[in-house]
């Protein structure tokens, strides 16, 4: 008898095999989805003629309560002991009907589904052909289920720890949520500090909150939280295992500074042999220079300096007085540091690896890299940021202030030559930049857009505010930025030519500064990452969610969740919401402590086993042992995940799989062919 176990799952008590098969066939109408094409009554009539079929019924919606009750009642009354439902697909309702079978008193695995919607009514054009095919599939299912055996649902334990890959706002929020729930979290971040892109912004839309002000408290919380192990300057190099039981190998790159000793006093940077910065500062988008020893920004977390071995004289020539070591009162330097590895076991993984901004150099018509005063939005964020290269001044390359600024929307987005999608955030951040640039410099600002996309809470009102401030809106996609002067006022300036589609005229607008609103793209190593974690990406390269509407944070790999822009372009509120959702779903797994697995484990028929050991080495989970004495292989059903590799490889057919034995498969085929 199967009983609820008080944890939301079902545990089965051992019962004897249920005797000769008495099969109940239930054909669903699915409203008109099936009944509109397939002659359901004919299928029921046909089913009742099949061997071992005791009961054949049809019903409008088998998945509904009354529908399921039909099955449960027949089982309880002993009319049947096997169930076939001809309806939608296993992905939709296999779980539903297995549960009904269990509630009716039999093992849930005495159930087989015939998919006559996805495989018949939705794809076969002619009604007669469809009915024929439905009958054939039902015949196959009936023959198969007669050979089903008693199996118990299996449980696997879920490891209590969780790993979050990526320390931007998504990773940070997910980590804090889970840590507050009492779970231990590993937060792995590739850069030397957490914070991601958000830490680079000056202000965020639509509230114009200072990004650092709202982010840094969370960053500090992460640093000091007892349940979070923060690994920065680290990346994941390998993942093995299975939902609930992942083994992750993490590499820690050397910073040449002992993290636990460094207090972030920055004396070493001051005392570095380089008097001034000489190397492009990546944090400031290359707009300023740093020394070989540096910290990305004042609130970097952890507050530990980094040494760049490509730039540091000691690493390049071995000849340096290393004044940095002298300056350090805590003796925190270790120039002999090498990369180290950690291997940890976790039950769930959340990927929050973020995005990459579109490289504006791919559109030479906009002059990025050609004309000095063409900037990307990220570069302007750094200029606007008080901790940035110009202390918050928006200036041209020669240090002067712009009088007229042009902001070009949709750079790299909505474009068949680059990225087809809309990057969602650029309209809003372009409006924000318009406001901030105007406020800081008093310049006239022109925004060139195709459509103004303001879908969030307070977003349209923000647009209204920007309009009120007198920012000029030109609805027309810019074809190019040029320094060709066609009139005296254009001399020495950059000219933007666009059709102002709303007034119906082509306009030439001379500007001093151009800002390119670059779009959002997947990270360049997204394909490598997805392979490491065994998930998929869509055509455009973002990680694929299980269902775009109803399962936006889980993936098709159980136990791996997604949060933030790595799943698709989105703004900060959505990212935080999604991170919370991913944390909740991961928590659900971890808190519950176990996952239910399919009963389809492999087993070895000893009589047929020749002792060739082919299966032993092939098993990806090392679940097959070998008895040297008896020269027979044996599967450890606790560890076996039912992947089927051994079954396929076994030359003598000794390796078989529950739920997919040869007999069952051939019976299904025979059933289909016998009718057809």
Partner 1 sequence: MTATRYTYYPGCSGKGVGRAYEESLLTVFEHLGAGLDELDDWNCCGATAWPSVDEDQANALAARNLALTEQRTPGAGPVDLVAACTGCYRALVRAEHVLGERGPAAQKIGGGLASIGLDYEGRARARHPLDILVNEIGLDAISAAVVRPLTGLKVASYYGCLLVRPFATFDDQWNPTSMDRLVAAIGAEPVDWPLKTRCCGGSCYCGGPVIGVMPEATMQLSYALLREATKRGAEMIVTICPLCQFNMEGFQDRMSKRFNHPLDVPVAFISQLVGIALGIDEKALGIKRLLRWRLPERDPIAAGVGSAAEGGGDARA
Partner 2 sequence: MGALTQTATDVRKTQTNGSRKKWRPVKDQSKFEAQLDPGFAAEIAAEVEGGELLHQCIQCGTCSAVCPLSAYMDLTPRRLIAMTRAGVRDDVLHSVTPWACTSCYACTVECPKRIPITDIMHALRRISMRETTYPRRFITPVMTRAFVDMITDRGRSTESWISLKLYLKTRPTELLKNIPVGSRLMRQGRLGLRRESIEGREDLRTMLEAMSR
508 binds, among partner 2, partner 1, none (CB under 5 to 8 A by kind): partner 2
Residues 8-47 that bind partner 2 (CB under 8 A): none
Closest distance of CB 444 from partner 2, Å: 13
Residue list 414-443, contact with partner 2 (CB under 8 A) = 414-417
Taking CB within 5 to 8 Å according to partner kind, which of partner 2, partner 1, none is near residue 403? none
Asked if residue 483 binds partner 1 (CB under 8 A), the reply is yes
Q: Which stretch binds partner 2 (CB under 8 A): 338-346, 367-375, 397-405, 496-504?
A: 496-504
Among 123, 361, 486, 673, binds partner 1 (CB under 8 A): 486
Q: Return the number of the residue (480 or 573) whose C-beta is nearest partner 2.
A: 480
Q: How far is CA 85 from CA 30, 108, 590, in A?
A: 12, 13, 33
Alpha-carbon distance values, 68 to 100, 118, 134, 371, 495 (Å): 6, 20, 21, 70, 70
Half-sphere exposure of 50 (CA within 13 A, CB side): 32
According to CB under 8 A, which one of 57, 271, 508, 592 is a site residue for partner 2? Answer: 508
Answer for which of 273, 327, 396, 450 binds partner 2 (CB under 8 A) is 450
Interacting partner of 570 out of partner 2, partner 1, none (Cβ under 5 to 8 A depending on kind): none
Which residues, in sequence order, are bridge partners of residue 333? Answer: 257
Measured CA to CA, the distance from residue 60 to residue 67 in angstroms comes to: 8
All residues at 6 or more sequence positions from 534 whose CB lies less than 8 Å from its CB, including other chains: 239, 557, 560
Given candidates 140, 244, 476, 519, which one binds partner 2 under the rule CB under 8 A?
Answer: 476
> Per CB under 8 A, does 415 bind partner 1?
no
Of 270, 484, 528, 598, which one interacts with partner 1 (CB under 8 A)? 484
Query: Would you state the structure tokens that stand for residue 136, as one six-digit string?
Result: 């054939």
Structure tokens at 357: 């901004």
Nearer to partner 1 by Cβ, of 486 and 588: the residue is 486
From the list partner 2, partner 1, none, pick the one residue 364 interacts with, judged by a Cβ distance below 5 to 8 Å according to partner type. Answer: partner 1
Tell the residue number behind the tokens 């150099």, with chain if given.
Answer: 361
By CB under 8 A, is residue 365 in contact with partner 1?
yes
Distance in angstroms (rounded) separating the CA atoms of residues 22 and 18: 10
How near is the Cβ of 403 to partner 2 at its closest, in Å? 14
Closer to partner 1 at the Cβ: 251 or 508? 508
Q: How is residue 267 written in tokens? A: 């004396």
Contacts with partner 2: how many residues (CB under 8 A)?
26
486 binds partner 2 (CB under 8 A): yes
Stretch that binds partner 2, among 145-153, 317-325, 469-477, 544-552 (CB under 8 A): 469-477
Burial 210-248 (b: 16+ CB within 10 A, else e): ebbeebbebbebbeebebbbbbbbbbbeebebbbbbbeb
| Coil vs helix vs strand at 242 | strand
3-state secondary structure of 191: coil
Cα-based distances in Å from 63 to 87, 94, 100:
9, 10, 10
Contact mark string toward partner 2, 347..366, x via CB under 8 A: ------------------x-
**Exposed/middle/buried for residue 539 (C-beta within 10 Å: 0-12, 13-18, 19+):** exposed
Which window, 76-84, 98-106, 112-120, 486-494, contacts partner 2 (CB under 8 A)? 486-494
Separation between Cα atoms, residue 439 and residue 444, nearest integer Å: 10
DSSP single-letter state for residue 444:
E
End-to-end CA distance of the chain: 38
Q: Does 479 bind partner 1 (CB under 8 A)?
A: no
Q: Is 489 in the site for partner 2 (CB under 8 A)?
A: yes
Based on the shown chain and the rule CB under 8 A, indicate whether residue 472 belongs to the binding site for partner 2: no
Query: How many residues touch partner 1 (CB under 8 A)?
Result: 6
Answer whether 199's CB lies under 8 Å from 297's CB. Answer: yes
- Strands (E) located in 254-334: 279-280, 289-290, 293-294, 306-307
Residues in contact with partner 1 by the rule CB under 8 A: 364-365, 482-484, 486
Binding residues for partner 2, per CB under 8 A?
365, 410, 414-417, 450-451, 475-480, 486-489, 497-501, 504, 506, 508
């Amino acid at each position: 008898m199967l009983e609820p176990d008080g944890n939301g799952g079902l545990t089965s008590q051992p019962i004897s095999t249920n005797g000769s098969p008495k099969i109940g066939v239930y054909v669903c109408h699915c409203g008109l989805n099936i009944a509109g094409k397939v002659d359901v009554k004919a299928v029921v009539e046909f089913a009742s003629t099949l061997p071992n079929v005791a009961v054949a019924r049809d019903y409008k919606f088998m998945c509904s309560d009354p529908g399921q009750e039909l099955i449960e009642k027949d089982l309880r009354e002993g009319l049947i002991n096997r169930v076939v439902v001809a309806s939608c697909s296993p992905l939709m309702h296999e779980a539903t009907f297995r549960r009904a079978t269990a509630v009716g008193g039999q093992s849930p695995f005495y159930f087989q589904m015939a998919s006559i919607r996805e495989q018949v009514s939705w794809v076969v054009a002619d009604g007669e052909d469809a009915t024929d095919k439905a009958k054939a599939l039902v015949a196959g299912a009936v023959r198969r289920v007669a050979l089903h055996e008693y199996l118990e649902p299996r449980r696997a334990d879920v490891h209590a720890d969780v790993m979050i890959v990526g320390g931007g706002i998504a990773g940070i929020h997910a980590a804090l949520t889970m840590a507050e729930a009492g779970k231990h979290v590993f937060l792995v971040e590739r850069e030397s500090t957490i914070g991601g892109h958000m830490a680079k912004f000056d202000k965020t839309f639509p509230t114009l909150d200072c990004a650092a002000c709202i982010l840094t408290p969370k960053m500090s919380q992460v640093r000091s939280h007892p349940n979070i192990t923060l690994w920065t300057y680290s990346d994941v190099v390998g993942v093995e295992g299975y939902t609930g039981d992942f083994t992750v190998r993490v590499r820690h790159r050397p910073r040449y500074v002992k993290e636990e000793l460094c207090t972030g006093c920055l004396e070493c940077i001051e005392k570095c042999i380089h008097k001034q910065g000489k190397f492009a500062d990546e944090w400031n988008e290359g707009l300023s220079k740093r020394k070989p020893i540096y910290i990305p920004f004042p609130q970097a977390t952890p507050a530990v300096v980094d040494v760049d071995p490509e730039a540091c004289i000691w690493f390049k020539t071995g000849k340096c007085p290393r004044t940095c070591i002298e300056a350090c009162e805590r003796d925190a330097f270790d120039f002999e540091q090498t990369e180290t590895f950690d291997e940890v076991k976790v039950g769930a993984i959340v990927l929050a690896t973020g995005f990459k901004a579109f490289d504006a150099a791919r559109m030479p018509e906009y002059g990025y890299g050609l004309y000095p005063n063409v900037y990307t939005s990220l570069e302007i964020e750094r200029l606007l940021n008080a901790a940035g290269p110009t202390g918050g001044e928006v200036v041209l390359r020669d240090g002067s202030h712009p009088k007229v600024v042009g902001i070009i929307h949709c750079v790299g987005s909505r474009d068949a030559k680059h990225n087809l999608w809309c990057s969602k955030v650029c309209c809003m951040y372009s409006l924000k930049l318009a406001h901030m640039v105007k406020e800081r410099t008093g310049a006239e600002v022109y925004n060139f857009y195709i459509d103004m996309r303001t879908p969030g809470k307070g977003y349209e009102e923000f647009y209204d505010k920007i309009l009120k401030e007198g920012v000029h809106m030109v609805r027309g996609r810019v074809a190019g930025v040029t320094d060709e002067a066609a009139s005296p006022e254009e001399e020495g300036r950059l000219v933007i030519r666009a059709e102002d589609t709303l007034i119906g005229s082509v306009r030439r607008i001379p500007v001093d500064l151009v800002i390119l609103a670059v779009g959002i793209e997947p990270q360049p190593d997204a394909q490598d990452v997805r392979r490491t974690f065994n998930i998929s990406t869509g055509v455009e390269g973002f990680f694929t969610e299980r269902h775009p509407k109803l399962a936006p944070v889980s993936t098709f790999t159980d136990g791996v969740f997604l949060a933030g822009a790595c799943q698709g372009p989105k703004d900060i509120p959505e990212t935080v919401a999604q991170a919370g959702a991913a944390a909740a779903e991961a928590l659900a797994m971890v808190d519950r402590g176990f996952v239910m697995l399919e009963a389809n484990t492999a087993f070895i028929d000893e009589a047929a086993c020749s002792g060739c050991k082919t299966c032993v080495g092939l098993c990806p989970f090392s679940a097959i042992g070998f008895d040297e004495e008896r020269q027979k292989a044996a599967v450890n059903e606790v560890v076996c995940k039912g992947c089927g590799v051994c079954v396929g490889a076994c030359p003598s057919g000794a390796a078989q799989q529950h739920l997919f034995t040869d007999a069952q498969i051939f019976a299904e085929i025979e059933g289909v062919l016998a009718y057809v």
